[in-house]
Amino acid sequence: MIENGYYIWLYVCDQELEEEWNKISQLPFNGQDKRGQELRHTLIRYLTSKGLRKDSAGISKLSEKDILAVENGDANVLFTKKLSLYPRLYQIIWEFDVYKKTETQADIHSFSELNMLKTQHKSLNEIFGPG
């Protein structure tokens, strides 16, 4: 998996991440962020999106704004730019890429909606016909 052109699961040291994260945040490394996602995964993706290694050195380069973003469930530095269309487009493309590579639905709303619409369309065609 890739985030902003960087491989997510390269240079990950869970022990250092847990130690350093628990020093700077009230939310535990092995807990959930404020969106109910695994904080560990949110943090790893966020660090990756900034081009940082996932270890104590990467954590030390996070600003207060970055820490709050991770706690709030933003898994990519792009998602902190709330008034821009680009982060939403990036999220949809990332979800599609996950879906394509794993053939499982990303745990994100837009793909749930897409699957629901496809199912509804198929059901309506069965009831009323394709025309």
**What confidence score (pLDDT) does residue 100 get?**
78
Q: What is the structure's pLDDT at 58?
A: 98
Does residue 25 register a pLDDT over 90? yes
> What H or E segment, with its residue span, contains residue 6?
strand 6-7
A 10 A CB-CB count for 22 gives 14
* Residue 111 predicted with pLDDT over 70: no
| 3-state SS assignment for residue 98 | helix
Taking the C-alpha atoms of residue 97 and residue 82, their distance in angstroms, rounded to an integer, is 22
Rounded mean pLDDT, 57-74: 98
Q: What pLDDT score was predicted for residue 85?
A: 78
pLDDT at 79 (0 to 100): 83
Question: What whole-number percentage of the chain has pLDDT above 90?
Answer: 55
pTM over 0.75: no
- pLDDT attached to residue 123: 74
Report how far apart, in Å, the C-alpha atoms of 98 and of each of 6, 110, 129 are.
15, 13, 33
For 83, other C-beta atoms within 10 Å of its C-beta total: 5
- Cα diameter, the chain: 61
The helix/strand/coil state of 32 is strand
Taking 70 as the threshold, does the pLDDT of residue 110 lie above it?
Answer: no
Mean pLDDT of 34-63: 98
